[in-house]
Amino acid sequence: MVAMDSEHGSFLTYDGSLSEGEITLYWYRDQEKKRLQSKYVMTIADSSQFEFSSYLSTDYGENWALTHQRVYSRK
C-alpha cells in the first residue's frame, strides 16, 4: 500500500494484490468529500497473452464500470 499527497489537497491511496496470475491495483482519491475509485487488473493467461482492464466506481466500490480493456498477444 502506498499513500501520496497530490500537491492539490487530495490524498491518494494505492492498494493492490497478486493472486494466481492476476494483479489488481486499487486507486482511491478523496476530493471535496467525494471518494473516487479506480481499479486496474492485469491478467496473465500464458506466456503469449495478457489482458489489462481498468474500471471506475462512484459508489465506494459497490459497482464497477469497465472503462478500458486491452488484450495483448504474441503472434
d(CA 66, CA 53): 7
d(CA 29, CA 8): 11
- Let me know if 38 is exposed, middle or buried by CB neighbors in 10 A (0-12, 13-18, 19+): middle
- Whole-prediction pTM: 0.67
d(CA 66, CA 64): 7
Number of folded domains that form the chain: 1
d(CA 30, CA 25): 17
pLDDT of residue 75: 76
pLDDT of residue 52: 92
Q: pLDDT tens across 31-73, in order?
A: 555 566 888 899 987 888 889 999 998 887 889 999 999 999 8
pLDDT of residue 53: 93
**Quick one: pLDDT band at residue 27, thresholds 50, 70, 90?**
confident
Q: Give the range of the structural domain holding residue 22, as residue numbers without chain letter.
A: 2-73
